[in-house]
């Protein structure tokens, strides 16, 4: 144990000059004048997975529900094969988080607020005309 160096003593190392490090880092960096021939696109995978999950859910949902009810002893009709349009319709009508649903919901709220404000305007206008011109006889 006497041959081992003490914990406080560090083995001798050679100091690396900073100029050498900066030169190696510069050589690894990209040349700004060089054209980039290939760029790849990082696609948002979670959106694809959500779409595929929804499609699978709507594709097999009837069969899974049939098997669950059959296991519980409940009667249910055997599910029929659905067309692509029926599955897509089920996907987008139940999804309240989709952009299409949110846009349609905002449009419906806007129409309802316009109808309400129009009815208030019409009632106020009628009351004003009755008070201002009683001879019109509304």
CB contact at 8 A, 92 and 112:
no
Question: Hunting for tokens 């021939």 — which residue is that?
Answer: 37
Cα–Cα dist 51/49, whole Å: 5
Reported pTM: 0.33
All structural domains of the chain with their residue ranges: 43-95, 96-138
Helix axes 84-94, 45-72, angle to 10 degrees: 100
Please give the chain's pLDDT, 138 residues, in tens: 555 555 555 555 555 555 555 555 555 566 778 776 666 766 666 667 777 777 777 788 888 889 999 999 988 888 888 888 887 777 666 666 767 778 888 898 998 888 888 888 888 888 998 899 888 876
Cα–Cα dist 77/63, whole Å: 10
């Amino acid at each position: 144990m006497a041959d081992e160096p003490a914990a406080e003593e560090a083995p001798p190392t050679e100091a690396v000059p900073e100029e050498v490090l900066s030169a190696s880092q510069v050589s690894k960096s990209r040349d700004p004048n060089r054209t980039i021939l290939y760029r790849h696109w990082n696609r948002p995978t979670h959106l694809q997975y959500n779409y595929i999950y929804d499609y699978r859910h709507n594709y097999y949902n009837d069969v899974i529900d049939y098997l669950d009810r059959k296991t519980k002893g409940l009667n249910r009709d055997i599910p029929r094969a659905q067309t692509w349009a029926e599955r897509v319709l089920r996907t987008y009508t139940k999804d309240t988080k989709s952009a299409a649903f949110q846009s349609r919901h905002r449009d419906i709220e806007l129409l309802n607020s316009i109808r309400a404000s129009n009815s208030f305007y019409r009632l106020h206008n009628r009351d004003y005309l009755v008070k201002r011109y009683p001879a019109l006889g509304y």
